[in-house]
Amino acid sequence: MDAIIERCAGLDVHKDIVVSCVLYGELDKTPNKEIKEFSTTTNGLLKLLDYLLEMKCTHVAMESTGVYWKPVWNVLEIGQMELVVANARRIKNVPGRKTDVKDAEWIAKLLRCGLIEKSFVPCEEIRDLRDLTRLRKSLLGEQTREINRVHKVLQDANVKISTVLSNIMGETGRQILNQIIEGRPLDKEFITTLYQGRGKGRLKSSIEELCEALNGKIRTHHRTILKMHLNHIIFIEQQIAELEKHIDERIASRRQELEIIDSIPGINEIGGISIIAEIGIDMNQFPNSSAISSWSGLSPANNESAGKKKEIVLPVVING
């Protein structure tokens, strides 16, 4: 392997320690090697940064080890070095040579020869936005799971509310749930009030059908669980609303880019924000359209052996 970088470092990152291997010297000769170990505390990582700058390293590479590479990146990115995060599967060492020192040295050797493919890591602004949009997605998923749990409890109480209401968490659904939780009767008088003053938003089912659907066997047990689920749903909704405020603040300076993405048919504002959060706004990170398609998991892969091509089913997702 021909060397192309005179001074570089490979980092083997763990939860508590970082093992650094610095290779330096003339490209046509065997490089000098220096190995040191640092703590992953902020002070330890600052010492690592000072050491790499002192060694005049121009390139530093590390594996994408869980989330442990992130604090290392956050400290080292303030230095005047090119940082490279590598896919651990693509730079796997030879079996039987697995030690922290060997791993750091192997990464450094691959980097010195330009054999590590750089992973896409957006700027801090985009990374923060990405954290917010992904958290929002997680909360929406948790909200859906809580609503499904409400369905389950209602079915256990023989309350068939989902057969007469398309959304049990709408205004009417919540009135009924609160009536159940507070132990008040689901009689015809209460049900009649649900139909009053609705205008175009009137219920499709008749009063008799709704009475029949709500005629269940509700126990204190069901009321207790429903109250917990409903309180959790309300809390999640508050968290989502607060998240959306933070997202709006973060995206305020990127309205021009967001308008461009929103002009694409089928993409709304929140979809456009998610796209910006995942791929950023600097398209120089991707040399061409094929690269960004491949990174997002949209390009078909090749799986050919002995002249035979095997079918590959790819998920249509955007990976971070």
Give the chain's mean pLDDT: 88
Task: Report CA 275 to chain centroid distance, whole Å.
Answer: 12
For the chain, domain boundaries: 7-112, 126-251, 286-320
Give the containing element (helix H, strand E) for 91: none
| Domain at 7-112: CATH architecture | 2-Layer Sandwich (3.30)
pLDDT value of residue 37: 96
Residue/partner pairs of 29-34 with CB below 8 Å, 24 or more apart: 31/3, 31/112, 33/105, 33/108
Q: What is the pLDDT of residues 241-295, one digit of tens each?
A: 999 999 999 999 999 999 999 998 999 999 999 999 998 888 888 888 888 887 7
Q: Which residue has the tokens 């390293």?
A: 57
Express each pLDDT in 70-128 by its tens digit.
Answer: 999 999 999 889 999 998 888 877 666 678 888 899 999 999 999 998 888 888 999 99
Q: Is residue 230 very low, low, confident or very high in pLDDT (cuts 50, 70, 90)?
A: very high
Q: Can you give 227-272 as a three-state secondary structure string?
A: HHHHHHHHHHHHHHHHHHHHHHHHHHHHHHHHHHHHCCCCCCHHHH
The token pair at 238 is: 């508050």
- The arithmetic mean of pLDDT across residues 194-203, rounded, is 68
